[in-house]
A and B are shown apart, each in its own frame.
Chain A
């Protein structure tokens, strides 16, 4: 037999180890963050506080009684963590953004920092947690009794409770830092998580491979009723248990504490998403073998709930039994510690502190340090919770009723689910909806599950249980409205959670949220969208900084408050003294206070001092953000479509021009073919005449030949001109420009034509003064243009005494050469067409050229940065003007 002394020594040694770890870590954290403590593994291990002694001992018992059903308790949380991206991530983000201290704080904060809601949630949490703590005390006690023999269970339980209270008070309330993080406790919990996992695996391996002969032997000859349970294992209860365990991993106050409140970095959640299911996998993989081996080896009357311990004892493996005991002890104590911290935070923040504050405010007492009051209230709350747990254990006398308490607690905290999930995903959820849903759900839970669990010993009499109150059968607690042919647990979940959710939704639809509630609702629901997500504050000028400072001193302690205010003052550019009570300052202060006493209390306090309750700009901006984004998006859309419209318009214009150009090109082509056709026809006909009439006289032949020759030359010239103009217009010809004297170029053109003018008797007069002015031009091309215009003036001049006046003048930039003849000139109607290709003056006779001279001339002038235009003088006569760019 394992001696009591060894057991006690091991136990005390283990407890001493836990204290040391917590103490060392706490002390080291003060000096700076500890790296390994910030690892996601530690975070995951602390979440494994989910596995209490109910898992450690109870799962084996459950497997022995109901087969596979036990596994649902671990599959539900697995699914929640696998789907962490959709729910847990949001909870953690909200928890961090709003410095949430507990699940009650989160729910009350969401519904407009309602203190009544906080109190309600706290009360439900206390009622659901107390029996659960009693269950842990009982498991430690009975496992102790298994080894040490029949001892006084109550005394054992008392010392366990007292020890846990001491530990929790020492490490759970050392400081009131913002964020409610307890590094020492977390480290100790992580250590305990490893111990319980290793212990269970060790027992499992021992049972499977040493007591039995491998897995095949374990499952050999096992009737399938044992594995699949006697009834239908995959019935409604399977679904309900999965739902409950999934809910519990979110809603249990201790789970909320480790998952959300103690979360250091959001990314740790990503690791926990697979590591925590893996931990559960490791915890459960040997549950079934242990149960089956226990059923085979142990005597018929043995309690399957204690197989983990009694199996190695029966096989005389004392060291294993001791290890198993420590594992069970670890699971129990870690749960008790975290649950006590979580629930005491709620009790202290939402029940004790508001009462204390009201008393203080009534007496207008400003002296004293609220920080101490807060610490004391936290410590008393811890004592109270553990005291209640012990009392419950004492009163219930460790009865069998405790065994079911795990699931009863699950259903109790499941009442938080509608308000919690509805609150963070549905903006329309209101405080009235949450309160009425919670009250309805909790009452039904108490009536259908919690009170009947006492077996008629407490409030509900056995008669009521059997026949309903006042003999009204349809009100029977476990068969409401005649729904009696189902498992009491399924019955209770359907009624309590169902009515809760329904009430919550319906009442929310029919009630109005007040301003603060709506603001908080938006901040919570859109926590990923709003950048800041700072808790809302109410503020307008009346806040007195001094009062706020006193308040901060009382809650945070003198020095931290001084530091905080100095920092805020410095941020405002004030070297000494208190900062101005701006929005930022008050919101920052409320956030800091919320980290210690919860959002609702912090809000109440600051409101009391700051006076009026109005809405700060910052959260209005936060809420406006979304609208702003929409407006911004639609504005951008409008801009884009306007730009598109502009582009389309431009495209239409360009298209129009392209069509015109295309038409002009067609026109040009048909004219070209027409112009080419005329000389070609005459060449061909004269050639045919010559070929057919061999007898043509030589002089006629010579005449025909000369005509063919002339026409060929005309054709060649025409083709040259066409090539020339198309090259010029396409910009393919780079004219080489040089500095030339304009008057010289003009004179040379006149000289070139002097033979013609003399023959036709045309008189040429040059007036004006451009002597020596330099222009940038190509000499040959300029002469070509001038000759073309002058010869036109000679050719088309029908006057009796033809005369050409050339007037030259200059501006700063240009040199102008106006060529005026006394022939018919060009009418205004013709003016627009003279520069068109193949156009000829109306007065022109036939066979006077192809009509390309003017277009070519103009193209040349433009290529030389000048121009050729048709101008009209005041008396209506037209003349050509050659503009040259001055060098």
Chain B
């Protein structure tokens, strides 16, 4: 069924996105990329290095937040136990 395969596709996309987010986090927080934060300067009085670290961190949290509910919907075992029993 077309609807079903669309759903499958969007689920796969969500998983891919969450994997991409993980890779992005690792790359941004590991050398050598993390060294780009070493230049002088400050944002709102906060040294750029510190600002960069918390900015990436906040980005990861936001990304995980956006993806978590969609990921949760992709697997029926991740839904509430009560709901699952209804389904079964």
**Interface of A with B (CB < 8 Å)?**
68, 71, 75, 78-79, 81-83, 85-86, 89, 93, 214-220, 222, 224, 227-228, 234-235, 238-239, 242, 265-267, 269-271, 273-274, 277-278, 281, 285, 288
Residues of A with C-beta under 8 A to B72: 267, 270
CB of B19 within 8 A of CB of A82, answer: no
Residues of B with C-beta under 8 A to A89: 78
Q: Does B58 contact A (CB under 8 A)?
A: yes
Nearest-Cβ distance from residue B17 to partner chain A, whole angstroms: 10
Residue from B38, B44, B57 within 8 A of A228 (CB atoms): B38
Nearest-Cβ distance from residue A761 to partner chain B, whole angstroms: 79
Residues of B with C-beta under 8 A to A278: 61
CB of A219 within 8 A of CB of B42, answer: yes
**Which 3 pairs from chain A and chain B are nearest by CB?**
A216-B45, A83-B22, A274-B64
Kindly report which residue of chain A lies nearest to residue B83, judged by CB atoms.
Answer: A267
Q: Does B31 contact A (CB under 8 A)?
A: yes
CB of A288 within 8 A of CB of B50, answer: yes
CB of A75 within 8 A of CB of B57, answer: yes
Residues of A with C-beta under 8 A to B29: 75, 79, 242
Q: Does B8 contact A (CB under 8 A)?
A: no
CB of B44 within 8 A of CB of A215, answer: yes
Kindly report which residue of chain B lies nearest to residue A222, judged by CB atoms.
Answer: B47
Q: Chain A's interface: helix, strand, loop or mixed, by majority?
A: helix
Within 8 A of A (CB), among B47-76: 47, 49-50, 53-54, 57-58, 60-65, 67-69, 71-72, 75
Residues of A with C-beta under 8 A to B31: 234-235, 238-239
Residue from B40, B42, B80 within 8 A of A265 (CB atoms): B80
CB of B25 within 8 A of CB of A266, answer: no
With A82-B22, A85-B18, A270-B72: A265-B81 Cβ-Cβ less than 8 Å: yes
Nearest-Cβ distance from residue A85 to partner chain B, whole angstroms: 5
With A83-B19, A83-B22, A227-B47: A242-B30 Cβ-Cβ less than 8 Å: yes
With A234-B31, A267-B80, A288-B50: A220-B45 Cβ-Cβ less than 8 Å: yes
Residue from B46, B54, B60, B63 within 8 A of A219 (CB atoms): B46
Residues of B with C-beta under 8 A to A75: 29, 53, 57
CB of A227 within 8 A of CB of B64, answer: no
Residue from A81, A218, A235, A238 within 8 A of B64 (CB atoms): A81
Residues of B with C-beta under 8 A to A86: 19, 22
CB of A227 within 8 A of CB of B49, answer: yes
- Bound CA–CA A83/B81 (angstroms): 23
Given contacts A239-B30, A285-B54, 4 further A-B contacts (CB under 8 A): A83-B21, A215-B45, A274-B61, A278-B61
CB of B40 within 8 A of CB of A224, answer: yes
Q: Does B10 contact A (CB under 8 A)?
A: no
- Bound CA–CA A850/B47 (angstroms): 106
Nearest-Cβ distance from residue A477 to partner chain B, whole angstroms: 27
Kindly report which residue of chain A lies nearest to residue B35, judged by CB atoms.
Answer: A234
With A83-B19, A234-B34: A214-B64 Cβ-Cβ less than 8 Å: no
Q: Does B77 contact A (CB under 8 A)?
A: yes
Residues of A with C-beta under 8 A to B69: 270
Residue from A218, A271, A285 within 8 A of B68 (CB atoms): A271
CB of A238 within 8 A of CB of B45, answer: no
Kindly report which residue of chain B lies nearest to residue A238, judged by CB atoms.
Answer: B31
22 contacts between A and B (CB under 8 A): A75-B29, A75-B53, A78-B57, A82-B22, A82-B25, A82-B61, A83-B25, A215-B44, A216-B44, A218-B45, A219-B47, A224-B47, A227-B49, A234-B35, A238-B34, A266-B78, A270-B78, A273-B64, A274-B62, A274-B68, A277-B60, A278-B61
CB of A79 within 8 A of CB of B79, answer: no
CB of B68 within 8 A of CB of A270, answer: yes
Nearest-Cβ distance from residue B8 to partner chain A, whole angstroms: 15
- Bound CA–CA A398/B80 (angstroms): 47
Kindly report which residue of chain A lies nearest to residue B69, judged by CB atoms.
Answer: A270
- Bound CA–CA A413/B68 (angstroms): 28
With A238-B31, A265-B81: A281-B45 Cβ-Cβ less than 8 Å: no
- Bound CA–CA A271/B67 (angstroms): 10
Residues of B with C-beta under 8 A to A71: 53
Residues of B with C-beta under 8 A to A93: 77
- Bound CA–CA A278/B65 (angstroms): 10
Nearest-Cβ distance from residue B76 to partner chain A, whole angstroms: 10
Within 8 A of A (CB), among B11-26: 15, 18-19, 21-22, 25-26
- Bound CA–CA A638/B58 (angstroms): 52
Nearest-Cβ distance from residue B15 to partner chain A, whole angstroms: 6
Residues of B with C-beta under 8 A to A281: 54, 57-58, 61
Nearest-Cβ distance from residue A92 to partner chain B, whole angstroms: 10
- Bound CA–CA A814/B19 (angstroms): 78
With A228-B38, A239-B30: A82-B63 Cβ-Cβ less than 8 Å: yes
Kindly report which residue of chain B lies nearest to residue A267, judged by CB atoms.
Answer: B78
CB of B57 within 8 A of CB of A227, answer: no
CB of B42 within 8 A of CB of A78, answer: no
Residue from B61, B62, B77 within 8 A of A266 (CB atoms): B77
Residues of A with C-beta under 8 A to B71: 85, 270, 273
Kindly report which residue of chain A lies nearest to residue B82, judged by CB atoms.
Answer: A265
Residue from A78, A218, A234 within 8 A of B60 (CB atoms): A78
- Bound CA–CA A273/B46 (angstroms): 28
CB of A267 within 8 A of CB of B79, answer: yes
Kindly report which residue of chain A lies nearest to residue B62, judged by CB atoms.
Answer: A274
CB of A78 within 8 A of CB of B47, answer: no
Nearest-Cβ distance from residue A468 to partner chain B, whole angstroms: 32
Residues of B with C-beta under 8 A to A288: 50
Nearest-Cβ distance from residue B2 to partner chain A, whole angstroms: 19
Residues of A with C-beta under 8 A to B54: 281, 285
- Bound CA–CA A40/B46 (angstroms): 34
Kindly report which residue of chain A lies nearest to residue B26, judged by CB atoms.
Answer: A79
Kindly report which residue of chain A lies nearest to residue B37, judged by CB atoms.
Answer: A234
- Bound CA–CA A89/B68 (angstroms): 12
Nearest-Cβ distance from residue B30 to partner chain A, whole angstroms: 6
CB of B57 within 8 A of CB of A217, answer: no
CB of B64 within 8 A of CB of A68, answer: no
- Bound CA–CA A539/B14 (angstroms): 43
- Bound CA–CA A83/B57 (angstroms): 14
Nearest-Cβ distance from residue B34 to partner chain A, whole angstroms: 5
- Bound CA–CA A82/B47 (angstroms): 26
Residues of B with C-beta under 8 A to A266: 75, 77-78
Nearest-Cβ distance from residue B22 to partner chain A, whole angstroms: 4
Residues of B with C-beta under 8 A to A242: 29-30
Nearest-Cβ distance from residue A535 to partner chain B, whole angstroms: 18
Highest count of chain B CB atoms <10 Å: which of A71, A214, A219, A274: A274
- Bound CA–CA A823/B42 (angstroms): 120
CB of B46 within 8 A of CB of A82, answer: no
- Bound CA–CA A171/B3 (angstroms): 50
Nearest-Cβ distance from residue B54 to partner chain A, whole angstroms: 7
With A270-B69, A270-B71: A85-B15 Cβ-Cβ less than 8 Å: yes
- Bound CA–CA A217/B44 (angstroms): 10
CB of B35 within 8 A of CB of A68, answer: no
Kindly report which residue of chain B lies nearest to residue A279, judged by CB atoms.
Answer: B61
CB of A273 within 8 A of CB of B26, answer: no
